[in-house]
Amino acid sequence: MDFVPLPEVTTLAAPFFVLSVALEWWAVKTGRAKGRYETKDAFASMAMGVGNLVVNTLTAAVFAWLMALAWPYRIATLPMTWWTVALAFLLYDFVYYWKHRFAHQMRWFWMEHVTHHSSEHYNLTTALRQPWFGPFTGLILLGVPMVWLGFHPYIIAFVGGLNLLYQFWIHTEAIGRMPGWFEAVFNTPSHHRVHHATNPRYLDANYAGVFIIWDKMFGSFVPELDREKPVYGIVKPVGSYNPVVLAFHELAGLVRDCARDGLRPWRWLGRAVNAPGWSPDGAHARSTELKRAYVKDHPEEAGQAGLPK
C-alpha cells in the first residue's frame, strides 16, 4: 500500500507562532491582556525553540529509522483515511499523556523536560522553550507500539505535529477560562497554568496534551483555583537566561549527584529512575514531600484540590 507523506504542520505554522507571540507581547505590554513578558526570558525561550528545531531536524532520520524497523512487525495495515487519522490523533494523545507523566516522575526524563518548565513567566514564548536532547532520553520509543498496531509513520508524525500545534495556544495568561463543556474535555490555558505552577497543590498535575480527560481518568487532574494564583517555574530556579545552561543544567546536576555518590552504580540508577528530589539517604524532596509539608503548615487545606489528606 502506498502512503502519501502528510504536511509538516509545525513548519507550516511557524509564521502563526511568530505573529501570535508578537501580538500577545504587544497586548500585555499595553495593558490590553493579562500576563507578563520579560525581554531576556522571552528571547531565551525563543532561542531554546530554535535549538530544539535544529536538534529535531538532525535527529529526524533516527525517528524514521526506528519507525521503519517496527513497521514490518505490525499486526495490521491501516489505510490513510480521515478515521484512521482521527483515531491516531486520539491514541497519540493518550501515549503523550503517559510520556509526559514519565517526564515528571523519573529524573532521567525530567533532566530533559525541565527546560520547558524553567521560565518564571507564562506566555506564548514559554511554549517555544523546548529541550535540546529529547530524542536521546529514549521516550521516543513510546511511539513504536502505534506502528505495531498498523498506523503508518507518516500518520504518527502528522498527528504528533497537530498535538504540538494545539499545545501552543494554551501557554498564556491572556485567556481566562473557556466554556464549561470545553474545559471538561480539552486541555486549556487554565488547566495548563496549573501544570506549569510550583505551588505545592499544583505540582505533578494536568499532564494532558489535548484531552484533559486522561488526567481525570488517571487521578492527576487539579483545577486552577481563583484563590490561589499559579507561581511559575521550577522548585529550584535555574537563575539564568543562558540557553546552554537552560538546556543542560539538570543533566549537570544529575552528574554531580552521582559523582558525590562515588562508585555506587545502584545509587546512580536510583537517582535516574526515581522522581526528582529523591535521595538515596532518604532525605527526599519530591513533590510528595513538598505537598505533605504544605499540609502540615496548612492543616485546613488537607484533602483539598491537589493535596493529601
Residues 229-266: tens digit of each pLDDT: 999 999 999 999 999 999 999 999 999 999 999 999 99
pLDDT tens-digit readout, 7-21: 678 888 889 999 999
Tell me the average pLDDT across 158-163.
93
Instruction: Please state which of the ranges 79-83, 132-136, 146-150, 216-220 shows the lowest mean pLDDT.
Output: 132-136
pLDDT digits (tens, 9 = 90+) for 50-104: 999 888 888 777 777 888 888 899 999 998 899 999 999 999 999 999 999 999 9
Task: Report the candidate in 62, 61, 67 with the shortest Cα–Cα distance to residue 146.
Answer: 67
Q: Please name the helix (run of DSSP H) or strand (run of DSSP E) that holds residue 260, with its range, or none.
A: helix 243-261
Query: Residue 24 and residue 128: Cα distance in Å, rounded?
Result: 14
pTM comes to 0.93
| C-alpha dist (Å) from residue 32 to 24, 36, 182 | 9, 12, 24
Q: How many CA atoms lie within 13 A of 233 on its CB side?
A: 11
**Could you read off the pLDDT of 165-213 as tens digits, one per residue?**
999 999 999 999 999 999 999 999 999 999 999 999 999 999 999 999 9
Q: What confidence score (pLDDT) does residue 2 get?
A: 52
Q: Report pLDDT for 289.
A: 97
206-226 pLDDT, tens digit per residue, is: 999 999 999 999 999 999 999
Give dist(CA 130, CA 165) in Å, integer.
Answer: 13
Residue 279: is its pLDDT beyond 70? yes
Say if residues 35 and 172 touch (Cβ distance below 8 Å): yes
pLDDT for the residue numbered 1: 47
Give the list of residues 6+ apart from residue 2 with CB closer than 8 angstroms, or none: none
Q: Could you tell me the pLDDT band of residue 49, with boundaries at 50, 70 and 90?
A: very high
pLDDT tier at 4 (50, 70, 90 boundaries)?
low
